[in-house]
Amino acid sequence: MLGILWIIAGVAAITLLVYSAATNIHTAKGDIGKPIPWIIIIAVFTPVAIGLVIFGWYSFKGEYDGEIKT
Amino acid sequence: MAAIASTLLFLKVKRKPMPTDPEKGIWKIITASSVGTLIEWYDFYIFGSLSTIIAAKFFPSENPTAALLSTLATFAAGFIVRPFGALVFGRLGDIIGRKYTFLLTLILMGTSTFLIGLVPTYATIGALAPILVLVLRLVQGLALGGEYGGAATYVAEHAPIHRRGYYTSWIQTTATLGLFLSLGVILSIRRIVGVQDFENGNGWRFPFLLSIVLVIVSIIIRLKMSESPLFAKLKSEGKTSVNPIKESFGHKLNFKMVLLALFGATMGQGVIWYTGQFYAQSFLLTKCFIDYEQANTIILIALVIATPFFIVFGSLSDRWGRKNIMMLGMLLGILLYRPIFQQLYNLSDTSNKTVTEQTTTTGQSQVMSTASDSTTLKNFEDGSHLTMTSKLNSKGERETKKVMVLGGSPKLKMILLIALMVLFVTMVYGPIAAFLVEMFPTKIRYTSMSLPYHIGNGIFGGLVPFIATLITTIPGSNPLSGLWYPIIVASLCFVIGSLYLSNKMDEDVTD
C-alpha cells in the first residue's frame, strides 16, 4: 500500500514544481523569476518524478518484498 | 572523444603485475583513484566558488544574452550534464574498462578547467567569452559525471571482502577535500596577490591554471594503473555488456535497483551533503553576514575536523552494515538541521550582543554630491564587530551592506556546529560507494551506480539553493525556511531506505 504513497508523491512533486514555475516566472526576483532555470529543472525533474511513480508501482506490485541485500 | 578513447585503449604502458595479496597493492590503487577524483572535484568547485567574479568578467548582467548564458552555465552543468556524463562514461566504463574511462574524464576536466583560466573576458572579446566559458563549464560537468562512478567502482573491485567500506571511504573523502583544496587555494592566492588584483585583475585565473599541474600528475599516476581485476576477468571471458544502458534501465531486475538506490539512498545523501557544506557556507555569508574570509575559514576548519570521519564510518559500515549508518546520518540531519542553523543565526545576531563601542563616519557620496555615504562600526562584548555601510549605487539606489567578524568564542561555536553537520555528511557519504557497488552486477556497475549518484547529488543536492530561495518567497518565511526542502527530501529517503533496504551486505561483487 505504501507504493500508492510514492506514486502520489511523484505526481505531487512535479505538480508543485509546475505550479511554482507558473507563479514565479516574471514575477519574482533573481533566478526563481527567470524562465530558463524552471524549464531546465522541470525538464530534468520530470523523469525523476516518473521514476518515483514507477518505484511506487513496483512497490505496490510487491517487487521489493523480501530482503534487498546491499 | 571516441578517437581519444581508442587511443587510450591501445596505449602500451609498462606496469607491474598485480600483487597476489590484494591488500598489498590497494594503497597504490586508492591513491591513483583518489588523487584524480580530488582534482576533478577541485576543478568543479573553483568555478562555483568564484562564480561572482566569473559572472562579472564573462556574464555582465546588463547584456541579456550573456545573462542567459550565465544561467545556463549555472544550471545546465549540474542538472543536465552531470547525469548525462554519468550515462556516457558509465557506458564507456562498462564496455572498454574502468581505467581508461576515468583517465579520459580526468583529461577532459583538467583541460577544460585550464582553458577557463585562459579565456579573455567579455570586455576583450565580447559575446564569444561567455559562450566559451559556458561550453567549458558543460565539459566540466560531463567529466565529473563520469569520474565518481569509475573511481568508486575501481577501488571497490580491488578491495577485499569485509574491508570494502573502509577502502572505498578514501574515495569518499575526495569531494570534501576537493572543496577544502579549492577554498584553500582561493584564499591563499587572494592573500598573495591582494583582493583588488584577485577580483579586478587576473589573480582569479590562477586557481584554474594551477589545475593543469595537478591533473598532469594525476594522469601520470593513473597511466600506471592496471585495469580492475573483475572487469578484466569479465572481458577475458567475453561477458562484458554490449549495451549497459539498456541492461541497466531496460531490464526490470536492474532498473528497480537503480530506483531503490536513488530514492532509498542517494537522494537523501545528496541533500545532506549539500546542506551540510554548501548551504551552510551560503547561510553564513547571506543570512549571518559573516565576512567572506572568516566564513570560508570557518568552513575549512570544520572540514578538517570532520573529514577523517569518512574513513571511520566507511570502516564501521563493514561491521555494522551500510544502511544503518547512512540512515542514522539522514535522521540526525532531519532532526537537528533547524536547531543547528538557528544557533548559527543566533551567534551572528547583533540583537543578542552587547555593544561596547560604536562609531559612525559619514562622507560625501561618490555618486551624488548632495547625498552622503556612511559607515558604522560596532564592537561587541564577545569580541565580534559589525561594519555597516550605506551608500548610493551607480543607479542612485541606497544599498546597505553588513559584514560581521566574529570574536573567538562565537567563532569557535560556529566551527563546531558546522563540523557537526559535516559529521552527518560523513555518515551518509562514507559508506555509499561500497553500498552502490554492492547493489549492481559487474557488467553494468559503472553505468548503474553513476546515474543515481549524480541524480541524487547533482539534481536533488544541487536544487537546495534554488528551492531554498523559492521557499523564502512564501509569506511568513524566515531565514530558516529554506531548510524544509532538504529536511523533507531526506525524510522521504529515510522512510524509503529504512523500509526497503536490508542492512545485510552483499559480499560477492563478482556477479
| Exposure string for B64-97, b = 16+ CB within 10 A, e = fewer | eebbbbbbbbbbbbbbbbbbbbbbbbbbbbbbbb
How close does chain A come to B265, measured CA to CA in Å?
Answer: 11
Distance CA B446, CA B145 (A): 11
How much is the pLDDT for B504? 66
Instruction: Give the residue from chain A lying closest to B470, CA to CA.
Output: A32
pLDDT of residue B23: 59
Per-residue burial over B15-46, b = 16 or more CB atoms within 10 Å of its CB, e = otherwise: eeeeeeebeebbebbbebbbbbbbbbbbbbbb
Q: 3-state class of B502 per DSSP? A: coil
Cα B316 to Cα A3: distance, rounded to the nearest angstrom: 32
Amino acid at B407: G
CA distances from B6 to B3, B28, B84, B97 (A): 5, 25, 21, 12
Cα angle B42, B44, B50; round to 5 = 90
Q: A58, B71: Cβ pair inside 8 Å?
A: no
The Cα–Cα gap between B459 and B267 comes to 9
**Structure letter (DSSP) for residue B226:** P
Helix boundaries (H) for B120-263: 122-125, 128-156, 164-193, 195-200, 206-223, 229-236, 244-250, 252-261
Best of B69, B79, B161, B489 to mutate (most A CBs within 10 Å, chain A): B79
Better pLDDT: B242 or A46: A46
* pLDDT of res. B74: 72
Q: How far apart, in whole angstroms, are the C-alpha atoms of residue A34 and residue A30? A: 7
pLDDT of residue B234: 67
Nearest to A70 among B323, B455, B466 (CB): B323
C-alpha angle with apex B314: B310 to B316, nearest 5 degrees? 120
Chosen for mutation from B59, B134, B168, B263 (greatest number of chain A CBs closer than 10 Å) is: B263
- N- to C-terminal Cα separation, chain A: 23
Residue A66 confidence class, pLDDT cut points 50, 70, 90: low
What is the structure's pLDDT at B100? 82
Per CB-CB distance under 8 Å, the chain A contacts of B475 are none
What's the Rg (C-alpha) of chain B?
24
Interface A-B: count of C-beta contacts within 8 A: 86
Q: Give residue B179's identity as a one-letter amino acid code.
A: L
Distance CA B270, CA B261 (A): 12
Residue with cell 590484494: B22
- Crossing angle for the helix pair B445-454 and B82-95, to the nearest 10 degrees: 170
Three cell numbers, residue A13: 512533486
What is the pLDDT, as a whole number, of residue B68? 67
Contacts of B66 (CB under 8 A, 6+ apart): B58, B59, B60, B122, B127, B130
Distance CA B485, CA B474 (A): 13
Residue B72: list chain A partners with CB under 8 A.
Answer: 36, 40
Cβ atoms of B139 and B105 closer than 8 Å: no
In sequence order, what are the residues at sequence separation of 6 or more whose Cβ sits closer than 8 angstroms to the Cβ of residue B367?
B391, B392, B393, B394, B396
The whole-number pLDDT of residue B120 equals: 94
Task: Tell me which residue in A20, A43, A68 faces B502 most closely, judged by beta carbons.
Answer: A68
Pair B95, B471: CB distance under 8 Å: no
This prediction's pTM: 0.85
**Which among A3, A41, A49, A44 has a CA at the least distance from the CA of A20?**
A41
The minimal CB distance from A64 to the residues B260, B322, B505 is found for B260
Determine the pLDDT at residue B126. 87
Neighbour count for residue B275 (Cβ, 10 Å): 28
Q: CA angle, B466 as apex, B461 and B472 as ends, to 5°?
A: 125
In terms of CA atoms, which chain A residue is nearest residue B509?
A70
Cell for B437?
Answer: 557497488
Instruction: Indicate the SS3 state at residue B404.
Output: strand
Answer for the pair B442, B244: CB distance below 8 angstroms, yes or no.
Answer: no
Interchain proximity B501–A70, CB inside 8 Å: yes
Cβ <8 Å between A36 and B72:
yes
Report pLDDT for B158. 82
CA distance B509 to chain A (A): 10
From the list B455, B466, B473, which residue is nearest A41 (CB)? B466
Q: How many Cα neighbours within 13 Å face the side chain of A24? A: 26
Q: How many residues does chain A have?
A: 70
Residue A59 has pLDDT above 50, yes or no: yes
Which amino acid is it at B304? V
Average pLDDT, chain A: 85
Contact present, B281 and B421 (Cβ < 8 Å): no
Are B379 and B358 in contact by the 8 Å Cβ rule? The answer is yes
- Using alpha carbons, list the distances in angstroms from residue B34 to B167, B228, B275, B286, B310: 11, 15, 23, 33, 13
User: For chain B (length 511 residues), average pLDDT per consecutive 10?
Assistant: 48 41 72 84 83 82 70 69 85 80 86 92 89 89 84 83 89 86 90 89 92 85 76 70 70 87 94 90 91 92 93 94 94 97 94 89 74 86 91 77 92 96 95 89 81 88 81 82 93 94 67 59
When CB atoms are compared, the residue of A43, A51, A70 closest to B439 is A70
pLDDT beyond 80 at A18:
yes
**Complex ipTM, two decimals?**
0.90
